[in-house]
Structure 1
């Protein structure tokens, strides 16, 4: 096997890899665009969706507390495997209180 055959084989592998990576990037880009359309994100990147995720904090394996904003109103929601419960609500213009500083335990 000559050096030309080895170089052509390596070139074929590099071209095939570039083609596969390009196709994967294209599929990911297309899926992101379709997902954004389903979530209501405009072409300019601005969100048209009425709900915006702010923060989340896990409380257990399947339980968490989620802070969301819906139409200007901020809500604290408890999410478990079987239900979603509104825990607190702040009207538009009010912000949730800052957390208390952590206490040091000895």
Structure 2
């Protein structure tokens, strides 16, 4: 009787573990809000990010022809510098 119990346990545990791993993998793949295409097809691209402690970050963001330096903190996001390459006439 106890051998039958351990036999079933050896069959069920990998099955449950596989189902848990599969559901986590599927959840990661199907998360809403994450792009399913390559990032180069997006209009906004984060080039670099630097943490300034627990409360702030510096971000270099490309948007179209422009490059922006953004400061992000808990109180909001500010544009610190920008290059407006798309507005210059050749």
Give the unaligned 5+ runs of structure 2. 86-90
Normalised by the size of structure 2, how large is the TM-score? 0.65
Q: Look up the match of 2:16.
A: 20
Number of matched residues?
85
> What is the aligned-residue RMSD (CA, Å)?
2.9
- Cα displacement (A) at 1:56: 1.7
Normalised by the size of structure 1, how large is the TM-score? 0.57
Q: Which of the residues 69, 83, 89 maps onto 2:82?
A: 89
Q: Look up the match of 1:71.
A: 64
Query: Relative contact order (C-alpha < 8 Å, sep 6+): which is higher?
Result: 2
Secondary structure (helix, strand or coil) at the match of 1:65 reads strand
| Structure-2 separation of matches of 1:78 and 1:89 | 12
